[in-house]
Amino acid sequence: MSYKFDLSHIERDSDRSITAQLVALVRGAIEDGELPPGAKLPTTRALAEDAGVNHLTVVRAYKRLAAEGFVTASRGRGTFVRQAPPSVAPADGRWQHAILPRTQRSYLSQVVADTWHAPDVGDHINLANGWTADELLPVSDLARLSAEVFAEVGAEALSYGEADGLWELREHLARIGATAGFATNAEEILITNGARQAIDLSIRTVIRPGDVVVTESPTFMGTLASLEESGARVFGAPYDDDGLDVEALEQILARHEVKAVVVQTGSQNPTGQDMSPERVERLLALARERSFFVIEDGVYATIRFGVSEPSRMRARAPDHVIYVDSLSKTLGGGLRIGWVAASGEVRRRITDLKLATDYHTPGLTQHIAARWLASGAHLQHLAHINAEIGRRAEAMTNSIEQRLDDEVTATRPKGGHHIWLTFQRPLDERLLMAEAMHQGMSFTPGGATTVEGDGLSGVRLSFPRFDEERLDEGVRRFAAAVRAARRAGSGARLAPVLS
């Protein structure tokens, strides 16, 4: 039974509208405790009839009460006085689950978290992370520059700064960009917290839920994570030794209005391959014809093994390409120095979003990075780490050829931190992950790097963190895990079917 209001005080000729009088009546009953939390209000039709007013007047009054937080409407059940939050947390501590938005943790976010925390202790060999080895980072140079920043810049290095980033750093990056092909002037550059944030801000600026986005598949898990968050409809275009399959993109374009295509310039994560110049030309021509953005990720373009750097696409279509990059793979991911290079309205909007998200990237690390680039040491440092990472890539590729020849196909990477292995026969990656843990190694499951997420066809192994001997041992353990997973898989298939 619902509550009966005393409607005798409703005045039709009053200056106050009937809606306002009804709102005051219900609000008063709730505040006086006559209507306790959870109590059901009369239906809008019943109250309209009792009060002799139009049904829509009561609907309006209930809506206002809901907006003010006094009542909640539950479709098909009615309108109720809002329950006060529980004053004592339930003993099992699950109150957070009750109030947090409903979500289901996706396989991708699970794998991102797991590989981020992959064990790095004892004898375990973690081939899941593409982080530059500690011994390859210029620690003493950066320590000296950091002391210089405090001595010469003082408190300014610790105070709030521009959303776009430190002007000197933007100028150095624009100079590099003029040669590499990603920027022509410092105005185009916005400093971000790593390329990861640059990708995220670009996607959040361009994409709205339901928009169609195409990305290479397999690709960087962080890109897929941002696309998942954006609510985009994501289509994967296969990636082969010539890069993103532009014909597959054209087939998608024939059926959909595409908002953006996300691609890497070269030394692609996870395949280590480049997009051919012909495919780049076709992609950019399509971007111009069909008016979509290309989000170009050049994070691995400078990590090269004896082959020249691929030129960046942005120089050829600066209004259509939003370029993202960072110093993470050369100076250290913990610095979190990344950037966007873009022009036009999208450039302005990315700055607005950066300001709304975290104001700006820390000034201290920006000052250190600016001085590092000004010192002229970067090119020499690049040559040094590329020679060493190249040796590691070579060692791992050889080891894969020797130990897994009958199981996988792999193309020698042109650069980057990873090698992509395709299984000659499908293999369940969850089974393989469990066996790999058992053997004392970890890898990145392919299902988390592909749009299709099939989890049967490929895996990524990363080589920059270990010397040749440890890499070979890591591959030996991986091969043992593959054999064990095959045995476990065939055991499962042979299990008798019980009727």
Q: Return residues touching ligand PLP (CB under 6 A).
A: 130, 194-196, 220, 222, 264, 269, 297, 299-300, 326, 328, 333, 338
- Give the distance, in angstroms, between the CA of residue 416 and the centroid of all CA atoms in the same chain: 19
Whether residue 39 contacts residue 5, with contact meaning beta carbons closer than 8 Å, is answered with no
CB 364, min distance to ligand PLP, A: 17
For 347, half-sphere exposure in the C-beta direction (CA atoms, 13 angstrom radius) is 19
First to last CA, the chain: 53
Q: Which of 124, 121, 129, 115 is nearest to 440 (CA)?
A: 124
Residue 122 zone, left/alpha/beta (φ > 0; ψ -120 to 50; rest): left
CB 418, min distance to ligand PLP, A: 8
Q: What is the DSSP string of 296-309?
A: EE-TTTT-BSSSPP
Alpha helices in 125-192 (DSSP H): 139-152, 167-180
Which tokens belong to 287?
A: 């971007």
CB 333, min distance to ligand PLP, A: 4
Residue nearest to ligand PLP (CB): 194
CB 338, min distance to ligand PLP, A: 5
C-beta closer to ligand PLP: residue 269 or 457: 269
Whether residue 371 contacts residue 172, with contact meaning beta carbons closer than 8 Å, is answered with no
How far is residue 310's CA from residue 150's CA, in Å, rounded to a whole number? 37
C-beta closer to ligand PLP: residue 338 or 453: 338
C-beta closer to ligand PLP: residue 335 or 410: 335
CB 327, min distance to ligand PLP, A: 7
C-beta closer to ligand PLP: residue 217 or 326: 326
CB 226, min distance to ligand PLP, A: 10
How far is residue 348's CA from residue 337's CA, in Å, rounded to a whole number? 20
C-beta closer to ligand PLP: residue 42 or 445: 445
348-382 burial, b at 16+ Cβ within 10 Å, e below that, comes to ebbbebbeeeeebbbbbbbbbbbbbbeeeebeebb
C-beta closer to ligand PLP: residue 145 or 262: 262
Token look-up 């082959």 returns: 307
C-beta closer to ligand PLP: residue 70 or 323: 323
CB 349, min distance to ligand PLP, A: 21
Partnered with residue 323 across adjacent β-strands are 296, 341
CB 200, min distance to ligand PLP, A: 9
How far is residue 397's CA from residue 225's CA, in Å, rounded to a whole number? 29
CB 77, min distance to ligand PLP, A: 47
Residue 261 zone, left/alpha/beta (φ > 0; ψ -120 to 50; rest): beta
CB 413, min distance to ligand PLP, A: 13
Whether residue 213 contacts residue 261, with contact meaning beta carbons closer than 8 Å, is answered with yes
